[in-house]
Structure 1
Amino acid sequence: MNLYPLLPSLRAVTALVAAPASLVGLVLVAAPATTENDFVQPGSQPHSLNDPILSSFECLACHGGYDPDVEPYADWAGGMMAQSMRDPVFHAALSIAEQDMPAIGSMCIRCHSPGGWIEGRSTPPDGSALTGHDYDGVNCHSCHRLVDPITDPSNPAADSSILAGLAMPPDDAHGGQYILDPQDRRRGPFDLGSSFNYHPWEQSPFHRDSLLCATCHDVSNPAMVRVGGAIPSASDTYVLDALDTPHPTHKKIDEFPLERTYSEWAMSEFAQGPIDMGGRFGGNLAEVSSCQDCHMPDATGAATPPGFNPVTRDDLPLHTFAGANTWVPRSIGRLDQSLLLYGASEASLVDPALFEDAIAANQSMLARAADLEVQQVNQDIRARITNQTGHKLPTGYPEGRRMWINVKFLDSARNVVGEHGAYDLNTATLDTTSTKVYEAKLGLDAAMAALTGKPEGPSFHVAISNKIFFDNRIPPRGFTQAAFESVQASPVGYSYPDGQYWDDTLFQIPPAAIKAEVKVFHQTTSREYIEFLLTENTTDQKGQIAYDEWVACGKSQPTPMGSQQIDLAPRYSVTGLTSGSQATLSLEGCEIGARCIFAYSLNGAGPTQTAWGLIDLSPPIKQAPPAYAGSNGIASLQVTVPPGISGVPIWTQAAAVSSIGPLFSNS
């Protein structure tokens, strides 16, 4: 590739490279010379509000301190919506993103600190100007002043003038292209009545709509432009846009997809109407459809203390926003004390118990997100994971997040005789070679690698990633390849048939195994990712801070999502079944010392009811002499095959008489 035409668009720095002691060379490492203009987005713009975004403490007096099970403040305060700007992993990732693509931080801050961004403190884009309640994250005002970008007669009357007054109105909700009401008119799904006078309010259908969540849960890199047809295709490529210039269309389908959680939902069966999930999600709500239905489940309670004479509702939305982060909330409690990442005026002042409540809610959500079904299929077990969510499993931020299957095979003494997907809690190391890991891998294509000096291929350098190398995450109900491809969310390097929202994996059973224990785990932050944040940061100490917090909080200990143990039927095999020769009958997976019976029939495959149960042979049924399982759990018997029976069909089956009764093999 000829780089000379690109040189005016590059900000070059030099770096020492390894060389013989007698020779030290220099190599050019380049980051695109992006500016904040490259990340300008439609919607509300900095300094455009008449009334500022208030701190969550302004809401605490009326919406907290009375019932931590249902009150909005307590449910929200310990979770990642509240702590999005205190998250040490976000800070570490932001530093590297700024190294790789200068000014991209302004786009990140849009969603992690809407209050700070709208007041102009995302300049500089490394977040260093953010202060005070900018660290409130996605707080009460940030959400309750959101305006629907799509004109609808059911929306508040003021919305038409708000939309008309925008210099760049968005035509969709994504990538932080939000619209905030310039006035302090707090919006929500309920009619508060004409006598309500505590603050200005508007009833907003938008706050029940999944499109609201798309604002920050469909994320794209606007510095990249898609090269392809009118509708996205798996063959499309993405290139760096002209620099110091906003994206030409601001449409998410024309930008590089980093996260597509909303689009995954929009192409799922859940988006077509409510689904009865048997109480799995939704709280009091029997059927669920929207993001809010599952992540803000209905409860019975009131939104204010009794002194306000509130309405007790059976459809009070809980503000837990349960997701999948199972360690960072605990880290925030530690950072509030150490103040290593922010100052005292930015600390959350949240009761540490609320952080633990948030982690417990996330663990519960993960446990409900999937079903695990394990079956023996001849010489293998099949682990089926069914995605019960309305988006991919897992979904969201792809860096360091993963889900995998752990299988342990046990012999009759409960010794582990085989394991797949072993995880070492001390070193946080996962054996990825022996199991299936569900994840997405972004990275750099050859052109971007040449431009930036970073290696081609999968990479955690998300800011300069322009290619999806792999994505085997399990799609939701209603999946079709065409629909997901059209929203840049199709599987890559893996395939799912249309309509399939589960995935099967086969694991071969070791000879001595009589039981299998299968578990599914999710991990928020892998060792590989946290080490990347540590070693690639050349700007500040935020990578070290994130790493130290990761270690102190248990190294993002994997969260169990489901488990099942099954007893394994003995596996029967026959070799050397040739007329006039010696055949070997083998039965593996038996208890040590178990008496094993080999039977056969010349008349068919049954089934036949016997005193021991149903067997797959037709009478008359004949038996060979018994054999006994050795210390390896295998019983073998040599039998002579009579001459002259070539071509005669024989049906045969074996059974091991174990401590729990006879266990029949495959036939």
Structure 2
Amino acid sequence: MQSVERWVSPVGLRSLAVVVLALVSLAAASVTALDFTPHGTQPGLLSDLNDASTCSSCHRGYDATTARFLPHNTWGGSMMANAARDPLFWAALDVANNDIPGVGDYCIRCHTPRGWLRGHSTKPGNGGAPNPQGALGCLLEGSYDHDAGKLNDYGGVDCHFCHRLMPSGPQSQPLFVENANFWVDDAQECLTPDGSGYGGPCRRGPYTYTEGNLTPPHGWVYSSYHESSAICGNCHNVTSPQTDAGTYAQTLRLNNGTDTGIPFPIERTYAEWNQSLFADAIFRDGLTEVPQGTPAVVRAEQCQQCHMRDSQDPAAKACQQNPPGSRTGNLPIHDLVGGNTWIPAIIKGQYGGQSGLGRDGDYDQAVAAARLMLESSAQVGATVTAYTAPTPGSAGSVSANVDIVNLSGHKLPTGYAEGRRMWINVQVRDGNANVVAESAAYNPATAVLTQDAQAKVYEALQGIWDPGSSTCKTEEAGRKLFHFVLNNCVAKDNRIPPLGFRAKTTADPNGYETQPVGYTYPETSPGSGVLVNRDRTPYTFAIPAGTQGPISLRVSLRYQTSSKEYIEFLRDEAVEHGFAAENTLCSGGPDRPFDVGPQSQSRGEYMYSLWNNPAYGKSPPEDIQVVTIPAARPAR
């Protein structure tokens, strides 16, 4: 595979700071005519996407019971529904466009497929010339605090978009499982299995309707694609962008400097699942799976089975016109839940309320679901291996092993790597619950995570290869760097693999794309190629003399969406490169100037102000699981 490293070659450069500046200037000269989104359905649909408010008339509930399961309510607070409102996304987009001008088109395609397909990104969809303002997000219609509506591009990944997705193109073009290279049904008519005809394309989903009172009043067709993880791979496998020239922005370099020629793997959540035991085919009779009722070989656990679990509510129904209980145990909850509790709370605070989006309950529901998802993602155990009790005149000590088991179907943590991390916090406490020793202490007032010698932080650190020092650079002058589209190497990836994970595949026989880096997970058995889905960390702590007992250890596995270093990087990039205030940047764009969002601030400075706002808590860590054990075994 050919690389566009001609834009970014750092030959002869003395420092990473100079490297980045050179990348920017070279990119500006080389990228102008390139198309970063050449595959899949292109802008300019014959059949416009219906907006989510159209669906809400039947699929939204207005009482506490139905709000728990009806699709529009459960979707409304999700990160999918708010992908184009996410202020973190917009701050990162400015950095990406500064690093490689125009590359934002490839980001916008995932975060607002409606806006992208309507021709409101770089490509107008009417045969006109590309507009570079589109890559900045400045051609989108609507606003952050507008709800649904056909003319609002800020509704994220919405109903009609997902339910028009196809596994292949209209002329049987191949399935793509990355970079939002999706295929969208653009037919002018839908014929249902009973021969009924409807104008426009079919709604595609995982059901065959056999009962009259459940049959929807619109065109529909059964789609096995909507039951498969491949549909999620559209945006949850992210690779360095490919252009219409057949080149990739970056190719992967190993930590010995070898250029593998492999397009740089930015995010690999789908691949991590696909290389795990969760993706192995198993036999199910299907008798309990309405509506098929026929034997089938299916994947062991699709993404949807965790992230869109079936509602067990006795009143569950998919539509207001359906009888209560008609879909109990057979209605995927559309919360599309992940681990992000921070951004939904910000969006509710900034754009919610009756004068804004008016669905505050949806955001509260999304945050609660994310916490439950985090709590189910891992198992934490701790065992004391040695203990010497302190006395009034001498210090004591305690040693323990902490075991973390990954229960998820991908690496833990997974997905967007920039600023995302998980760590083990261990506290030694006296008899009054005072902390007398600690590893990986976190200060919520400053958002500083103390990385002591024993601290274990699970994360992926991507960087830029520096030939001068022969290292994968992730920081410069003590400041961490997060150049999403310039990164071409992985300095660290110690995230815990899922059950049955194999890094090596037929397509990647060396396992370069998903292997641990700078850390070793043993094989389940020698030569199996299957890595364990657990990690053990030993700790030893001194206990001050005179510490009052009984001594205990409190172990918490903590998850954070965005680190202090990442938020400060986004702000600093905006300041140092003079990124314009959003209303200035998008002056002349549809519906501008906005009276919500960054307005007179750059997006990076706005994101920093939100992070620094006491109401939002500096991306407060979530406790995935907490265990407390005594240092000394009780006397028998």
> Counterpart of 2:374?
366
> Counterpart of 1:437?
457
| CA distance in 1 between partners of 2:257 and 2:310 (Å) | 41
Deviations 1:570-617 (A, max 9, x none): 8xxxxxxxxxxxxxxxxxxxxxxxxxxxxxxxxxxxxxxxxxxxxxxx
Between Structure 1 and Structure 2, the one with more strand by share is: 1
Give the partner amino acid of 2:155.
D
Residue segments in structure 2 that go unaligned for 5+ positions in a row: 11-16, 123-133, 143-151, 188-200, 243-247, 285-298, 387-397, 524-530, 581-601
> Counterpart of 2:336?
321
> Counterpart of 1:85?
84
1:432 Cα deviation after fit: 1.9
| CA distance in 2 between partners of 1:405 and 1:447 (Å) | 34
Give the partner amino acid of 1:470.
K
> Counterpart of 1:43?
40
> Counterpart of 1:640?
none
Say whether 1:55 aligns with 2:95.
Answer: no
| CA distance in 2 between partners of 1:135 and 1:449 (Å) | 44
Say whether 1:75 aligns with 2:86.
Answer: no
1:319 Cα deviation after fit: 0.4
| CA distance in 2 between partners of 1:469 and 1:92 (Å) | 24
1:517 Cα deviation after fit: 0.8
Give the partner amino acid of 2:116.
W
Give the partner amino acid of 1:568.
A
Say whether 1:289 aligns with 2:301.
Answer: yes
Identity in percent? 37
1:494 to 519, 524, 527: 519
Contact 1:449–1:455 under 8 Å retained in 2 = no
SS at match of 1:314: coil
Cα 1:417/1:100, change in 2 over 3 Å:
same
Give the partner amino acid of 1:545.
Y
Contact 1:174–1:214 under 8 Å retained in 2 = yes
Matches of residues 19-34 of structure 1 in structure 2 within 5 Å? 30-33=25-28, 34=31
1:95 Cα deviation after fit: 0.8
| CA distance in 2 between partners of 1:233 and 1:480 (Å) | 19
Matches of residues 89-128 of structure 1 in structure 2 within 5 Å? 89-123=88-122, 124-128=134-138
Give the partner amino acid of 2:537.
T
Give the partner amino acid of 2:486.
I
Say whether 1:525 aligns with 2:562.
Answer: yes
| CA distance in 1 between partners of 2:307 and 2:174 (Å) | 25
| CA distance in 2 between partners of 1:267 and 1:307 (Å) | 39
Contact 1:36–1:106 under 8 Å retained in 2 = no
Contact 1:9–1:32 under 8 Å retained in 2 = no
Cα 1:297/1:411, change in 2 over 3 Å:
same
| CA distance in 1 between partners of 2:239 and 2:256 (Å) | 18
> Counterpart of 2:609?
548
Give the partner amino acid of 2:25.
A
| CA distance in 1 between partners of 2:163 and 2:400 (Å) | 50
Deviations 1:495-539 (A, max 9, x none): 111231011111103245721111110000111111111111131
> Counterpart of 1:625?
none
> Counterpart of 1:129?
139
| CA distance in 2 between partners of 1:298 and 1:448 (Å) | 54
1:549 Cα deviation after fit: 1.7
Larger displacement relative to structure 2 (393-402 or 414-423): 414-423
Contact 2:424–2:555 under 8 Å retained in 1 = yes
> Counterpart of 1:622?
none
SS at match of 2:485: helix
SS at match of 1:405: strand
1:192 to 190, 209, 214: 209
1:134 Cα deviation after fit: 1.1
Give the partner amino acid of 1:210.
S
Say whether 1:304 aligns with 2:319.
Answer: yes
Cα 1:521/1:568, change in 2 over 3 Å:
same
> Counterpart of 2:482?
460
SS at match of 1:298: coil
Contact 1:521–1:558 under 8 Å retained in 2 = yes
> Counterpart of 1:628?
none
1:7 Cα deviation after fit: 8.4
Say whether 1:180 aligns with 2:184.
Answer: yes
1:267 to 275, 280, 283: 275
Deviations 1:294-337 (A, max 9, x none): 10101242110146899434211110111011111111123226
Aligned residue pair count: 505
Cα 1:28/1:533, change in 2 over 3 Å:
closer
| CA distance in 2 between partners of 1:525 and 1:210 (Å) | 26
Which is bigger in relative contact order (C-alpha 8 A, separation at least 6)? 2
Say whether 1:478 aligns with 2:500.
Answer: yes
| CA distance in 2 between partners of 1:375 and 1:80 (Å) | 37
Give the partner amino acid of 1:177.
N
> Counterpart of 2:193?
none
Cα 1:39/1:238, change in 2 over 3 Å:
farther
1:74 Cα deviation after fit: 0.4
SS at match of 1:52: coil
Matches of residues 368-517 of structure 1 in structure 2 within 5 Å? 368-378=376-386, 379-434=398-453, 435-446=455-466, 459-483=481-505, 485-486=510-511, 488-498=513-523, 499-512=531-544, 514-517=551-554
> Counterpart of 2:198?
none
1:238 Cα deviation after fit: 5.3
Give the partner amino acid of 1:416.
V
| CA distance in 2 between partners of 1:28 and 1:488 (Å) | 24
SS at match of 2:135: coil
1:550 Cα deviation after fit: 2.0
SS at match of 1:507: strand
Residue segments in structure 1 that go unaligned for 5+ positions in a row: 11-16, 19-25, 150-158, 240-252, 277-286, 571-659, 663-667
Give the structure-2-normalised TM-score.
Answer: 0.73
Q: Determine which structure has more spread, i.e. the larger CA radius of gyration.
A: 1
| CA distance in 1 between partners of 2:344 and 2:330 (Å) | 27
1:368 Cα deviation after fit: 0.6
Cα 1:194/1:179, change in 2 over 3 Å:
farther
1:416 Cα deviation after fit: 2.0
> Counterpart of 1:336?
351
SS at match of 2:629: strand
| CA distance in 1 between partners of 2:437 and 2:9 (Å) | 54
1:192 Cα deviation after fit: 2.6
1:170 Cα deviation after fit: 4.1
Deviations 1:410-449 (A, max 9, x none): 2345432211111101111111234110000011112699
| CA distance in 2 between partners of 1:220 and 1:459 (Å) | 19
Give the partner amino acid of 2:464.
L
| CA distance in 2 between partners of 1:328 and 1:566 (Å) | 34
Larger displacement relative to structure 2 (412-421 or 29-38): 29-38
Contact 1:288–1:294 under 8 Å retained in 2 = no
Give the structure-1-normalised TM-score.
Answer: 0.70
